[in-house]
Each structure stands twice: as structure tokens, then as C-alpha cells.
Structure 1
Amino acid sequence: MVRTLGPCVLLVNLGTPDAPTAKAVRPYLREFLSDRRVVEMHPAVWRPILEGILRVRPADSAKKYRSVWGPTGSPLLHFTAEQARRVGAALSGQSEVRYAMRYGSRSIPEALDQIMAEGYRQLLVVPLYPQYSATTSATVADEVYRWGLEARNQFDLRILRAFAKDPGYIAAVVAAIEATWAEKGRPDFAAGDKLILSFHGIPQAMADAGDPYPQEARLTSALIQQQLGLADGHMLHTYQSTFGPAAWLKPATIDTVKALGVRGTRRVDVVCPGFVSDCLETLEEINILNRETFIEAGGKEFHYIPWGNDRDVWVEALTRIVRDNLAGWL
């Protein structure tokens, strides 16, 4: 008698170098920055520029990674693994849950090979990006489809597009903000304090060409503002992690916190709704670099608000998102 397995879920995040060293960062950056979804410049033009970047940037990036590397290694890897473990426990007996990274170790092809070899034929792929972008969600799908081009056997396949307006996701972000305010006091918005929602940026040209990311990020911000009951002006929507000389979505988070500090704003609270796991972009860029920028510009109080990771309200929301997208298979 042939044993029939249930569906398998594959959670996918961006990726991380194996160690906070230039030697480990270099191949990771090479793979990431060679993706035509990430840098749309023609390879013949981009390749020599990339080689120049790879001579300098890995050492600088490694130093930043060391500032956030924990006892369990990469925070993004740790929390992605924990999310997979806890969602898997919640779906025990119904679905297997695994995780993979788009770039670096624990790759999507490796995970798909293993899942297929174990006999699973129904597969739900969940890119862990709340807002859709060709630079993130689409490149996960690309990698899954590339694997399929070479595979003799195929999955009954579903790929989650995004979850920018999912009520559980919005509630998880709001709950983290409200918990911080309960602990540290609510910002004095009447006196000029601000809540900043910082999203990863993309080049403006990509948005102009039809990438829906800025609209989905704005939708998320509007829903969070509505849930918190904040008046216009009390919450700001910004973009971080710009790269290169091209124009990116604005306003930039770091420019915003600097301007607020110069203006005499006493307090800013920053949350990053587009990052379901803490990583270099939240722990170093926001909680170190942006904090220093705000304080040096004259600000007094800076709070970075983590919201996802292994927090119960987020894991419960992710479990429901997964369960809903397994409908008909369970």
C-alpha cells in the first residue's frame, strides 16, 4: 500500500551569509546582486560594476553583520527557522512545514529536491514578504519555476503572492506598537513625536515600470494607521535600504529621522512592517545607524519596535495565512 503524504509548506525568506566575514559575505552578495529582478541593468554593463563592488563592500557588510550576529548566528535565519518550526507544530498531522532562502545556503532548489525526494506532491510556497514586489516575491517564484524546468516530476503547486492587507498581519504589527507604548509610554504626538513606518525601498524606475510595491506598502500603512486611530501627520511612511546612485522611492527613512532631529522632534518610534524577521536592515540600519543619526541631529528618544520574529500574535497570523492557502488540501 502506497502511503499518501499531505501537503508541504515552504516558507522562503531573502537569505543570509553563512558567517559575518568578508569571505562569506562575498558569494552571498554576488548571487543577490546578480539577480536580474534586483538589478535590471544589462549584465554586460552591470558585471564590471558588480566586480568593483565585490572588492570593497563585503568587508564593510561583514562588519555590519557582526554587529547583529547573535549566539544562534544570523537573526534572520534563526527567526525563519523558528517560524517554520512553530507553524509546523500548529499544523502537525496536517502539513509538513520547511523553510528555504532565496540567496545563499539553504537554497530553494535544495529544499525542493528534498521535498520531492521525500514523496510530497502538493506544495505551498510562502514568500515571507508582506508586500508584493518583482524584486522579492517574483524572484522566489522565478527560482521555483527554474527548478521545475529541470524536474522530471512536478508538484501540484501554489505560490502565495503577498499578504499586505491580511487582518492578522496588520494586527500583529499593531499589537507590537501598542505593547511598546504600554511599556514606554505613548508618544506625545501633540508635541511633535512621530511614529515611522519604514519599508524596504526599490528604485523609482521599477515603480514607474509597474511594480505595485509602493501601492501595497501604502495600503499596509493606511490599515495600521486606521487600527491605531492616529491622525494624519502623527505617522510617517518612509523607505530604507537604498543602494547605488539611481533614484529610489522617497522619502528616505534616514533623511526623515535626520530632519526630525534637526527640527527638534523629541521622540521617534520606528517599526518595519515589511520585515517579518529581524535582520541586518532592521537591527543595524534602523536600530543602530538611524538611531545614531536621529540623536546626533538633536533628537532625544528613539525606539525601534520589532513586531514579527517568534512573537505569538505573528506566528498565529502566519499559521492562519498558511492554513487558508492550504484550503482543499487539508
Structure 2
Amino acid sequence: MKKRAVVVFNLGGPDAPQSVQPFLFNLFNDPAIIALPNPLRWLVAKLIAKRRAPVARKIYAHMGGKSPLLELTREQAAALQSVLNDEDKNVQNLVFIAMRYWRPFSDETAREVKKFDPDEIVLLPLYPQFSTTTSGSSIRDWKKSAARIGLNAPTHAICCYPVDPGFIEAVGARIEDVLNRVRKASSGMKIRILFSAHGLPKKIIDGGDPYQWQVERTVKACLDVLNARGLDDFDHAICYQSRVGPMQWIGPSIEDEISRAAADGVAIVVTPIAFVSEHSETRVELDIEYRDFAERLGVLSYSRVDTVGTHPAFISGLRHLVFQGARCTQEICSGSCEESQYCPHSAIRCALSKS
């Protein structure tokens, strides 16, 4: 029987309070995050990690002192493995997890994949929208790890899937559930959906990273699905969260959009559009910090949509992406448009622009 290894990528998160500072160091020591030569980047990463660790520990304290991301990613991996093996009886699919900034790292996962001895490998980032700072960094890291141990099975990577029907269907279903609850609780109140994504420094986008463009495509696809279901009694805005440091970031910020909603007297339904799993940016930033901010401003109603998690439509979409990746004739494939470049050609840092 043919054997296929599927490696799902995610950011990772500290598994204990003492892991917070080294996790932060790994994050800021990534050249995709801080583009400085070593040893300068190493020194800057050490400084930032030490300075931010106390604040970050307080954030993770809200979640029991650790990130829930690995546990939730394991649930997604198990669900994906189940549907893959249910549909394709001629292939043994085994789904592995590789985190970028905390365990299990790519080196550890690559060794496990080599023990499995697959006939082919499909790399599947759990980031629907491509960025050099997320999927790009994870794919590069995996290539280095695989090369170090001589893992040379044919490998194809899905770079992105911002409008994948399964992903969009799952987001739409999550939004519909919350919209229905808000309508019942606040009859006649105007509603605004805030589609929130993790922010990036503007210079990264200006350098040709397609992330913001893909986020906008995701939002448009979600609106099309909602409108097709007869849900159009709301307006919307795209915003960005998690800004750090003094540099200019893409906007508008979620703080600005919450302030505008307060001034307009509308109910807010916050939808995380670039996260597929719950973690600190959803359970602490969105559920606690921004909710408190909204209440202080007098926002009439603040609700938050769950991430897609193991929603059946999302897992089904991932299954389709794996099969697509296995059929792909290129090293990196777009889940949005088969083997052609999905992003505009101005996005010179698109994964397919150099493949």
C-alpha cells in the first residue's frame, strides 16, 4: 500500500510558563520576522524576548499558563487523517504536526516522517493566507530539516487557500450562528462584522508579500456565501490586530474599528479571518482585551465568532487540498487556483512567483 505523509504547519506556542521566553526568542530570531544579519538579529531577539516575556506570561495565564494551539492542532490532524483514510483506501495517510517556534519543531517531525518512510509528502500550512512570515518561513524551515536527515521523498507544498470552498463554508456557518444569536438578543440593532486578521508591518506588504491581498479575497468570499444564504442585514470592515513595536503596520487596526463602531452605535461581531485555531490572539486579545476596550467605549453588543477548528466543511476542504497537493506537478501549489499563481503579479513575494 502506498504511504503518504501529510505535515500540517502552525505557529506553535509555549507549553508552560517557563517556555514563554524561549518561544518568543525563536519567534523574533526568525529572519522572516526580523530581517537583520546575525549576530545582530540574535541579540535583538534576546532583548525583545526578555522584555516581552513578563507581559506574555500574563496573557498565557488566562489559558492555564500555556497555549492551547498544539492540542487543538492535534484534533485537526486527527480529523483530517480520518477523512483521508476513509476516502482513499489505497493509500495509508499519516498526518504529522510541525510547529515553527515551539515543539514539535520541524527537525523532530522530519525524523518521525522518515521513520514512516512515505512514498510522498504533502505539506499543508494551517494558514489560509500566504505570508513569507508564516507559511513561507515554515516551508523553508521544513526543507532544511528534511535535507539534514536525508528525507528525500517527493514533496509538494500547498502555499495557501484563502478562498477554498470548505474553509469559506466553515467560516460562513460560524458567522451565521453568531448573527442569529445577536439578532435574537438585540432585535433591530444594526450589526457590523469586523473581520480581524493578524497584522504585519507595512514594509513587509510593500515588499510584495501577498498576505493582505489574500485576506481581502477571503473576506469577499465569505460575504458572497453569507449573501447567498440571504444574510445581508449587516455591514462589515476588515481590520488587523496584535500590533507590536513602533513601526507602521497595515490597517485599520481593530482598536480603530471598535472605536468607529462605538461612535456609529452598532453591534460588533468579531470574526477571526486568518486564524483556524483558538490561541492567545482569540481567547485573550479578542475575548478579553478588545471586549473590555469595546465595553469601555460603550459598544452596544460585542460578540466573537469561533475559529473553524474541526468544522466538517473545513476538514473536508483540507482533505481536498491534500489530494490536490498529491496531484501537483510543482514543488509548491496554490490551493486556490490549482498550479497557477493566484496572487497578482505585483505580489513578487508570492510563493509561486519563484517556484
Common topology (TM > 0.5):
yes
Alignment deviations for residues 195-232 of structure 1 (CA, whole Å, 9 cap, x no partner): 01001111100111100111101111111112222669
Following TM superposition, by how much is the alpha carbon of 1:155 offset from its aligned partner in structure 2, in angstroms? 1.8
Cα–Cα, structure 1 residues 298 and 184, in superposed 2: closer, same or farther, change >3 Å?
closer
Following TM superposition, by how much is the alpha carbon of 1:285 offset from its aligned partner in structure 2, in angstroms? 0.8
Alignment deviations for residues 131-171 of structure 1 (CA, whole Å, 9 cap, x no partner): 00000010011111212332334121011110001111111
Query: Is 1:108 equivalent to 2:109 in the alignment?
Result: no
- Alignment-derived partner of residue 200 in structure 1: 198
1:28 to 2, 11, 23: 23
Cα–Cα, structure 1 residues 99 and 148, in superposed 2: closer, same or farther, change >3 Å?
closer
- Alignment-derived partner of residue 78 in structure 2: 85
Query: Contact 1:177/1:307 (CA < 8 Å) preserved in 2?
Result: no
2:7 to 1, 7, 10: 10
Query: Contact 1:87/1:319 (CA < 8 Å) preserved in 2?
Result: yes
Distance in 1 between the 2:67 and 2:40 partners?
Answer: 33
Distance in 1 between the 2:54 and 2:149 partners?
Answer: 38
AA aligned opposite 1:208: D
Distance in 2 between the 1:314 and 1:77 partners?
Answer: 18
AA aligned opposite 1:27: P
Secondary structure at the aligned position of 1:11 is classed as strand
TM-score of the aligned structures, taking structure 2 as reference length:
0.84
Query: Is 1:172 equivalent to 2:170 in the alignment?
Result: yes
Query: Contact 2:190/2:234 (CA < 8 Å) preserved in 1?
Result: no
Query: Contact 2:122/2:157 (CA < 8 Å) preserved in 1?
Result: yes
Secondary structure at the aligned position of 2:237 is classed as strand
Query: Contact 1:100/1:107 (CA < 8 Å) preserved in 2?
Result: yes
- Amino-acid identity (%): 26
Query: Is 1:250 equivalent to 2:251 in the alignment?
Result: yes
Root-mean-square deviation (CA, aligned residues, Å) is 2.4
AA aligned opposite 2:97: Y
Cα–Cα, structure 1 residues 255 and 44, in superposed 2: closer, same or farther, change >3 Å?
farther
Cα–Cα, structure 1 residues 119 and 112, in superposed 2: closer, same or farther, change >3 Å?
same
1:130 to 128, 131, 140: 128
Secondary structure at the aligned position of 2:100 is classed as strand
The within-5 A match list for 1:1-330 is: 5-19=2-16, 21=17, 23-69=18-64, 74-92=67-85, 93=89, 94=91, 95-185=93-183, 192-229=190-227, 234-261=235-262, 263-327=263-327
The aligned length equals 321
Following TM superposition, by how much is the alpha carbon of 1:259 offset from its aligned partner in structure 2, in angstroms? 3.2
Cα–Cα, structure 1 residues 215 and 233, in superposed 2: closer, same or farther, change >3 Å?
farther
User: What runs of 5+ residues in structure 2 fail to find an aligned partner?
Assistant: 330-355
TM-score of the aligned structures, taking structure 1 as reference length:
0.90
User: What runs of 5+ residues in structure 1 fail to find an aligned partner?
Assistant: none
